[in-house]
């Protein structure tokens, strides 16, 4: 192979390739079947990934369940491991509010709101599997043009706030 080709300033690596692929897959879904239906498809993937990640943390920590503080720590840690920058804004008995300065999908997430269902479902599955119930609301997102993300997890089933509800074992 020519040295010129190997030295060409092409921004192509596995990470960037997969981000581009996800951007185009989610964009195609949004364009062809609509945002709501695209979110549904991505939610199914997020649920499976959430189950797998939850089991990995439980096994690694040798626990049967996480408490609320551990759930918050796991959510922050998992996002850091995939190059997100989540942090806890607030933790009370009734909710956890997380902020984020960097999406794991990078700039490829802009305009691809359906990808936010990955965060909602991964967070929702992990929280519900450990705490029995959670309602997740993506208050702000980089995908929708905000400078960062704000995600609130509510633990009161009687709460009238908007969000997607997730149920786990009692």
Residue 123, pLDDT > 90, answer: yes
What pLDDT shows up at residue 158?
82
If you average pLDDT over residues 95-109, what whole number do you get? 94
| Range 59-72 average pLDDT | 98
pLDDT band of 119, cuts 50, 70, 90: very high
Pairing verdict, β 95-100 and 133-140: unpaired
Phi, psi of 99 (to 5 degrees): -110, 165
Would you tell me the crossing angle of helices 35-61 and 14-33 to the nearest 10 degrees? 140
142 pLDDT band, cuts 50/70/90, is: very high
Average pLDDT, the chain: 94
pLDDT tens, position by position, 39-55: 899 999 999 999 999 99
Q: What is the pLDDT at residue 11?
A: 83
Which pLDDT belongs to residue 66?
98
What pLDDT is recorded for position 159? 76
Pick 13-167's CATH classification: 3.90.1150.10, 3.40.50.300, 3.40.50.970, 3.30.1380.20.
3.30.1380.20
CA–CA gap between residue 42 and residue 90 (Å, rounded): 27
Is the pLDDT at 90 greater than 80? The verdict is: yes
């Amino acid at each position: 192979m020519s040295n010129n080709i190997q030295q060409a300033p092409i921004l192509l690596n596995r990470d960037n390739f997969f981000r581009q692929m996800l951007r185009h897959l989610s964009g195609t879904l949004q364009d062809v079947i609509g945002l709501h239906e695209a979110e549904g498809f991505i939610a199914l993937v997020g649920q499976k990934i959430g189950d797998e990640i939850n089991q990995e943390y439980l096994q690694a920590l040798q626990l049967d369940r996480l408490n609320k503080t551990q759930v918050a720590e796991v959510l922050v840690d998992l996002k850091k491991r995939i190059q997100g920058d989540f942090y806890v804004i607030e933790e009370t008995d009734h909710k956890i509010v997380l902020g984020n300065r960097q999406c794991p999908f990078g700039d490829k997430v802009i305009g691809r709101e359906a990808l936010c269902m990955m965060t909602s479902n991964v967070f929702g599955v992990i929280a519900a599997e450990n705490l029995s119930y959670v309602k997740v609301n993506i208050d702000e997102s980089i995908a929708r043009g905000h400078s960062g993300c704000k995600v609130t997890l509510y633990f009161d089933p009687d709460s009238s706030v908007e969000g997607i509800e997730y149920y786990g074992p009692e």
